[in-house]
């Protein structure tokens, strides 16, 4: 079964029908998926096309790093794999239903169409065919914009975030609620706008021609951790030369982890996950889902919270170099807490001004893009980068606004 699911995933990632997908029904991909499965089986039997198939699938394997080795073994033996799987793949519609591509009302249909267009473009290049996908891509992008902008969607996510996360963060609740209220709608708006400009979105994916002057300049060598480490290296220091922000970061994360680790918080999070997930399943599965999550969700939440390490969290953000950690290890918790308020006020002032520096903003955008977009297929990386360029400055502005609150250190439980 695991091999079957892997093959089905490869089918969905790699090839689309040679027949043009009808532009007037971008939200229904079932017929196109069935043609895709047929072509996949046919290509696996032809020696020349099988080599091209394997080349494309090897690229697809890199997008599933946890199963990359297993994926490559399946690709190498694709003819034998398909021969064994063919009895399960004869019913093309059943295969596509398993991939959730035969529900015209499905919210993923428009996104699936976009992937299938991309796969078709890739296959056309291999076959030396010239096909114009620009208009189809633009219609699909507009459909995605409508899905993202559906009334009530962001409100539901906002309510879920506040109830599941913010309500369980104790003294950090107000900061969490304010951040969610500002950033979640902004993210949805940016996403909707990005796909609403269908020509720009499709240019970013290489499906519509783009003037060279409009191409984004990427900085692939910029590492986010190094950007943040350099930022905090310039922050206020202790008399020993260690960064004050490291002390405040560890203490703040300890308070947060302690709040989340409370039995009532863990149980609340587990209950909220159950209540959010189970009602979306078919009615026949509702009782089983609730029983399953009532039994296992609290344990999973507890185990997840226990893995939260305040020091490791601060290291990953660049706030705590090893020299600072060595100094902190020799300090008592009481000593660290005694200096936390002054440290918070000093680093807050530094951060409020430092986050406005143009060079830092430019480096941060490049670092976030390289971290967030590297897992996307190549054709989507520029689209992801465009989103990062738009959203990260908004995120910084939100931080700067929060840091201007005269009671920010009290709200962070550091004063």
Give the residue, 212 or 403, on which the prediction is more confident. 403
pLDDT digits (tens, 9 = 90+) for 62-78: 666 666 777 778 788 87
| Cβ(244)–Cβ(237) below 8 Å | yes
Q: Is the pLDDT of residue 20 over 50?
A: no
Angstrom distance (rounded) from CA 304 to CA 266: 10
Q: Is the pLDDT of residue 7 over 70?
A: no
Give the residue, 349 or 104, on which the prediction is more confident. 349
Angstrom distance (rounded) from CA 49 to CA 200: 33
Beta bridge partners of residue 243, listed in sequence order: 237
pLDDT digits (tens, 9 = 90+) for 280-306: 777 777 888 888 888 888 888 888 887
Question: How far is the CA of 126 from the CAs of 49, 53, 55, 378, in angstroms?
Answer: 9, 9, 10, 16
pLDDT of residue 363: 92
pLDDT digits (tens, 9 = 90+) for 246-281: 888 878 888 788 788 888 888 888 888 888 888 877
pLDDT of residue 55: 77
> What is the percentage of the chain residues whose pLDDT exceeds 70?
81
Residue 23, C-beta contacts closer than 8 angstroms, at least 6 positions apart: 135, 136, 139
Give the residue, 98 or 392, on which the prediction is more confident. 392
Q: Is the pLDDT of residue 153 over 80?
A: no
pTM: 0.63
Question: How far is the CA of 169 from the CAs of 12, 16, 39, 62, 162, in angstroms?
Answer: 40, 46, 52, 37, 10
Q: What is the mean pLDDT of residues 14-18?
A: 35
Which of 132-146, 318-332, 363-377 comes out lowest in average pLDDT?
318-332
Q: Based on the number of CB atoms within 10 Å of its own CB, is 136 exposed (0-12), middle (13-18) or buried (19 or more)?
A: buried
Please provide the average confidence, as pLDDT, over all residues in the chain.
76
Q: How many CA atoms lie within 13 A of 361 on its CB side?
A: 18
Q: What string of DSSP letters covers 147-160? A: HHT-TTHHHHHHHH
pLDDT of residue 3: 37
Q: What are the residue boundaries of the structural domains of the chain, listed by start? A: 2-131, 148-214, 224-411
Q: What is the mean pLDDT of residues 195-216?
A: 75
Q: What is the mean pLDDT of residues 197-209?
A: 82
Which of 84, 48, 61, 74 minimizes the C-alpha distance to 14? 61
> What is the percentage of the chain residues whose pLDDT exceeds 90?
2
């Amino acid at each position: 079964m695991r091999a079957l699911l892997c093959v089905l995933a490869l089918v969905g990632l790699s090839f689309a029908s040679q027949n043009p997908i009808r532009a007037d029904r971008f939200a229904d991909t079932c017929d196109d998926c069935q043609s895709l499965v047929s072509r996949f089986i046919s290509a696996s039997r032809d020696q020349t096309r099988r080599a091209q198939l394997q080349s494309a699938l090897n690229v697809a394997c890199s997008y599933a790093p946890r199963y990359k080795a297993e994926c490559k073994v399946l690709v190498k033996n694709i003819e034998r794999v398909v021969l064994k799987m063919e009895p399960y793949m004869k019913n093309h519609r059943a295969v596509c239903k398993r991939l959730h591509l035969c529900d015209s009302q499905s919210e993923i249909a428009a996104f699936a169409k976009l992937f299938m267009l991309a796969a078709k473009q890739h296959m056309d290049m291999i076959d030396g065919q010239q096909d114009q996908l620009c208009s189809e891509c633009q219609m699909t992008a507009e459909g995605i914009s409508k899905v993202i902008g559906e009334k009530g969607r962001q409100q539901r996510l906002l309510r879920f975030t506040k109830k599941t996360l913010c309500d369980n963060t104790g003294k950090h609740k107000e900061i969490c609620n304010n951040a969610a209220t500002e950033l979640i709608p902004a993210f949805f708006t940016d996403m909707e706008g990005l796909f609403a400009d269908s020509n720009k979105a499709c240019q970013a994916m290489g499906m519509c021609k783009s003037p060279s002057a409009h191409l984004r300049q990427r900085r692939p060598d910029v590492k986010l951790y190094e950007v943040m480490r350099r930022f905090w290296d310039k922050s206020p220091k202790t008399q020993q030369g260690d960064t004050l922000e490291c002390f405040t970061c560890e203490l703040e994360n300890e308070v947060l982890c302690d709040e989340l680790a409370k039995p009532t918080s863990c149980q609340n999070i587990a209950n909220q996950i159950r209540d959010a997930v189970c009602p979306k399943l078919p009615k026949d599965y509702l009782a089983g889902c609730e029983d399953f999550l009532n039994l296992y969700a609290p344990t999973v939440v507890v185990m997840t919270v226990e893995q939260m390490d305040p020091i490791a969290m601060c290291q990953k953000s660049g706030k705590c170099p090893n020299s600072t950690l060595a100094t902190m290890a020799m300090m008592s918790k009481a000593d660290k807490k005694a200096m936390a308020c002054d440290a918070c006020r000093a680093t807050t002032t530094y951060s409020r001004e430092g986050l406005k520096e143009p060079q830092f903003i430019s480096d941060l955008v490049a670092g976030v893009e390289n971290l967030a977009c590297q897992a996307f297929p190549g054709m989507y990386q520029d689209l992801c980068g465009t989103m990062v360029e738009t959203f990260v400055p908004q995120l910084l502005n939100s931080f700067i606004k929060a840091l201007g609150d005269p009671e920010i250190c009290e709200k962070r439980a550091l004063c």
